[in-house]
Structure 1
């Protein structure tokens, strides 16, 4: 797997990119935290608990407001893995799926251990963040897929019958590789999805989501981004369920006022293609970011995943300043998310000044070691 030459970064371009990176990662976390308290409840139960309009604000989950789930945790480890892939490239090694797999194994360790092991310097700084060691109802499929050191691949995937939305929900960072061609972004998403969810729908839905984020991060409109995604999907065997779901999302935009029932209809059985389609729909029809996010969690499906996916799209589209400040203020792990986002933006725009085969910043290599 190779990447094309990146863009030329002027100061304005760097600032815009950093805002979109921050927006994407914060958006994933905000949508995830908004949906966490009502995940899997269904519209009737949500309305009974929160009124006829459903959930309209952050409420507690896991003992606090703004708590995130495994979707955000894994998204952050996706970013960590991408930075580590860039750093390891200095050694002549270049296989991002392997670096992402190592990052996901570090996440799996957080789900088993009580806290970080300070002796493991090769883990880097993110794996030493104590708040990430909270277990937030990860799907068993994730724990099984990452339960040993064997990496699933498209030819030999882990859990080949699993078609859930979890791979898509950790794939927003792949779309932030704006210097890559879309087909390479799609391939990386497919290869990383296969590490836990081997069903073609899960893999191609993750690719579709990453490519849509990619177009948004490069300044496209949502409509244009989805059309580019559909064109790319058409070249992939087995794409029809994902393409059909996205087409249904576009069609639903023209069917009148958005409702929870319409979102539930798009989500269907809660498999990856429906959840991604629902996130696209919520992004398109919401009159503002807050309403889009609320629409994305008030339905019969997986609210945390749909919220995370919608938040990632909105953040890539608008940048960080469009996200509701009151929700950001109580978001769990916000300092870590911002620090990681800024590291990613710096690596992607100025990485050559941080490390090279000849000389590297010791502080940067301590944060993102080449070894593991």
Structure 2
């Protein structure tokens, strides 16, 4: 279970936390939609892919565990998240494994925009995720599935784990590790997801900046035995003589999980640095939109999701013109409101 905090830390107001949670989810969705769009940026309609669908189901699995806890009933968060992924799989019209559970439906399962089976095809489905979920086995941190797979599919669904207020970053890191282990056992894939969630979580603190949130997340990575990942991302933060851009580069082709995280972090950090240099002046909404598109060009959907999620959490300011074209905006805002109601103290 998610533990209660040992001390009494200072929290943001409920309105500020609500804005950050909404901004994170919508920012990630904009990154996904921007990378997936085949037409021009001015297209009248954009849509999320399975990556954001799974991120929203991550949120719902976490919400189910919280709802049980609020009723005084203990629940395994990772098991709830696994069941949520199976519900997503069922909603896509895919058969559940015969040796696995058949989870009871929840309200998110009735959202038609999140159940596009038979209308939009399955080109956006990640084969490694499907392979893991089709085993009927729940991967764990001790016995993860797909130990040789280092794709960013676990990374792009992990931001919601950082949206838990009132808990320690170490708790968020371990929760994201466990959730990534359901489908991705490669150390870099799991720890990149955990670092990403921890960065998001750090941005919930009063006065937090991306640089400080990332530094805290990298400290968690080092404490959890992945100093090489932390060093690469630290170079992105330092950005000394172009070292940051070099560290954020890819080896060619589809980025690995750490490459996508580095590219997304680099793009988001550039916006924060520019905003700090301008003393808060300038159009953050336009800068965020440009950064998301740059990340999409450099690292595809995963990098754009990272950039959008981080900047949406950091500032809560997103390009309205892009939001207006996002087909699933209303669904995402409704899910965000439900999560806020269950997790944020009034």
Normalising by structure 2, report the TM-score. Answer: 0.84
**Structure 1 segments of 4 or more deviating over 6 A?**
6-10
Q: Alignment partner for residue 152 of structure 2, among 156, 165, 177? A: 165
1:338 aligns with 2:333: yes
Q: Which residue of 2 aligns with 1:81?
A: 61
Q: Which residue of 2 aligns with 1:221?
A: 209
8 Å contact kept, 1:216–1:222: yes
Gaps of 5+ in 2: 96-101, 117-121, 275-286
Q: Which residue of 2 aligns with 1:297?
A: 296
Q: Which residue of 1 aligns with 2:257?
A: 272
8 Å contact kept, 2:219–2:230: no
Q: Which residue of 1 aligns with 2:19?
A: 19
Q: Which residue of 2 aligns with 1:310?
A: 307
CA distance in 1: counterparts of 2:192 and 2:59, whole angstroms: 19
Distance apart, 1:122 and its partner CA: 3.4
Q: Which residue of 2 aligns with 1:141?
A: 128
Normalising by structure 1, report the TM-score. Answer: 0.78
Q: Which residue of 2 aligns with 1:348?
A: 343
- Mean alpha-carbon deviation: is it higher for 287-296 or for 220-229? 287-296
Q: Which residue of 2 aligns with 1:99?
A: 80
CA distance in 2: counterparts of 1:155 and 1:336, whole angstroms: 35
SS at match of 1:97: helix
SS at match of 1:223: helix
8 Å contact kept, 1:266–1:275: no
Structure 2 matches for 1:310-329, cutoff 5 A? 310-319=307-316, 322-329=317-324
Change (3 A) 1:146 1:337: same
Q: Which residue of 2 aligns with 1:281?
A: 266
Q: Which residue of 1 aligns with 2:31?
A: 31
Distance apart, 1:136 and its partner CA: 5.0
Q: Deviations over 1:204-233 (max 9, x none)?
A: 001100000001122411111111111111
Change (3 A) 1:262 1:160: closer
Distance apart, 1:240 and its partner CA: 2.8
CA distance in 1: counterparts of 2:251 and 2:345, whole angstroms: 41
Distance apart, 1:148 and its partner CA: 3.8
Q: Which residue of 1 aligns with 2:231?
A: 244
Q: Which residue of 2 aligns with 1:178?
A: 165
Distance apart, 1:2 and its partner CA: 3.1
Q: Which residue of 2 aligns with 1:2?
A: 2
8 Å contact kept, 1:20–1:315: yes
Q: Deviations over 1:218-259 (max 9, x none)?
A: 24111111111111111112x133213202312436529x98
